[in-house]
Structure 1
Amino acid sequence: MSFTDQVVVVTGAAQGIGRSVAEAYAVAGAKVVLADFQEAEGAAAAASIRNEGGEAIFVQCDVRKEKDIANLIQTTMEEYKQINILVNNAGVARWKSPYELTLEEWDDVLNTNVRSCFLASREAAKHMKQNEHGGSIINMASTRAFMSEPETEAYAASKGAIVALTHAMAVSLGKDGIRVNCISPGWIETGSVDELKPEDHEQHPAGRVGVPSDISRACLYLSDPGNTFVTGTNLMIDGGMTRKMIYED
């Protein structure tokens, strides 16, 4: 897949999945705007892409702040004159008992994970609809929108909301040629896969734990200009774990 002359904005791009997504688009020929709260790490990620021959800039952005998101989109337009693809990847988690989770912590998770998706999509879509072929928005949800562990209420609620937001915006923006999809990753190891135990891999029907490039390839598929019939969907990438029945001995 070629994304030559496409302009891609990726939030939460300083490390992990976000950085992998940004790098994949750059390799495919896109001009990439990396956004993140972490300035040093984000700038380094953009520099690494440029050192490999890609085109990338970094914009510091706290996605909890509407003005930062507006600045991100404005800076992108000033630099590249268009936006074709937006990947809303930025997110945080709080593992805490619902008895102890504070209102401030709840709001921080929801504002970072969900509200930012809406705000960034709203601002980017204003420019995407001016493109001849519209645009593509990808939101990063999670398998935790559908299944849970204890003490994950805020995170699960935020990811469930992202799935619902995705199909709602797909319907609203479809008339403007803008496709909106989301990805629900399962266990994606952003550290060293070599440090995992054999049973970590064996519990997955696919036979292994996921890695960031599994998500990057999905982003390329969902945003490919030729896939105009793919919108409003949630792509589950979890090595089959959400389809595996588990019984206690």
Structure 2
Amino acid sequence: MAFDELVVVVTGAAQGIGYGVAKAFAEQGARLVLGDRNEEQGAAAAAAIRNEGGQAVYVPCDVRHEDDIKELMRTAVDEYGTIDILINNAGVSRWKSPYDLTSDEWDDILNTNVRSCFLATREAARYMKKHGSGAVVNMASTRAIMSEPDTEAYAASKGAIVALTHAMAVSLGPDGIRVNCISPGWIETGNYESLKKADHEQHPAGRVGKPSDIARACLYLADPDNSFVTGTHLVVDGGMTRKMIYEP
């Protein structure tokens, strides 16, 4: 398999998309390092992967803290000897009127979503460049290119991730490191069976997305054979951002 024994670090890996991505890489033979600030869920996620025959360790990590990010990467190298792939998945959202959103709330969202992508990529790249190859996948959102009311900080953070992706792809390219990003649309991480028919039908693809849809996109972007793919922004949304909607 393409990912046999490769070392993959995933932030925000305790649940949802992050766990789905980590599980997919483990099933492909990769060795996983799961970072998350929820220690109980993070440890359980790593244990679940090991129970299914995969290799995984959990490292407590709040991506708002630079020292936590550095420790995550150090632990990955101490445990497995290197870092081959980084998935910057950790993020937070907050829907709040721009009239009420505080500067502290703005900073928290931007620091969690964007600053962490830069810091984690910088720290992982220090190890990747030693063996002349690596792949980074940043998790943006379709909110980077379209909006609902009261999403200013989240939208700004995800738009910044798209721009950061192509900037770092150019800067890190000479070191053999590829940087790409994914913008998920509606990815249901709760009870998929509870979704209504109308929820699925509003998507040109005919259904709401699942974490496995994003995991497959990560596998494509991180595959060492796809060495010509860097700086790209892959929208995985069932076609929703291409659908024109007219009020009757």
CA distance in 1, matches of 2:199, 2:137: 28
CA distance in 1, matches of 2:37, 2:79: 20
Match of 1:168 in 2: 167
CA distance in 1, matches of 2:27, 2:2: 9
Q: Could you say what secondary structure the match of 2:57 adopts? A: strand
CA distance in 2, matches of 1:38, 1:124: 22
CA distance in 2, matches of 1:101, 1:154: 9
Check conservation: 2:2, 2:224, Cα contact below 8 A.
no
CA distance in 2, matches of 1:123, 1:166: 15
Unpaired segments ≥5 residues, structure 2: none
Describe the superposition over 1:68-103 as per-residue Cα deviations: whole angstroms up to 9, x where unpaired.
Answer: 000000111111110000000000001000000001
Q: Would you say 1:206 and 2:189 are equivalent positions?
A: no
CA distance in 1, matches of 2:88, 2:30: 17
CA distance in 2, matches of 1:57, 1:40: 13
CA distance in 1, matches of 2:59, 2:16: 17
* 1:131 CA displacement: 1.4
Describe the superposition over 1:221-243 as per-residue Cα deviations: whole angstroms up to 9, x where unpaired.
Answer: 00001000000000000000000
Q: Could you say what secondary structure the match of 1:136 adopts? A: strand
Match of 1:71 in 2: 71
Describe the superposition over 1:131-188 as per-residue Cα deviations: whole angstroms up to 9, x where unpaired.
Answer: 14x0000000000000000000000000000000000000000000000000000000
User: Within 5 Å, which residues of 2 pair with 1:84-95?
Assistant: 84-95=84-95
CA RMSD of aligned residues (A): 0.6
User: Within 5 Å, which residues of 2 pair with 1:1-249?
Assistant: 1-132=1-132, 134-249=133-248
Runs (4 or more) in structure 1 with deviation over 6 Å come to none
**Which amino acid in 1 is paired with 2:108?**
D
* 1:2 CA displacement: 2.7
TM-score w.r.t. length of structure 2: 0.99
CA distance in 1, matches of 2:80, 2:46: 16
**Which amino acid in 2 is paired with 1:137?**
V
Q: Could you say what secondary structure the match of 2:178 adopts? A: strand
Identity of aligned residues (%): 73
Q: Could you say what secondary structure the match of 1:86 adopts? A: strand
CA distance in 1, matches of 2:20, 2:5: 19
**Which amino acid in 1 is paired with 2:78?**
E
Aligned length in residues:
248
CA distance in 2, matches of 1:57, 1:198: 39
Check conservation: 2:209, 2:238, Cα contact below 8 A.
yes
**Which amino acid in 2 is paired with 1:130?**
K
Q: Could you say what secondary structure the match of 2:246 adopts? A: coil
Unpaired segments ≥5 residues, structure 1: none
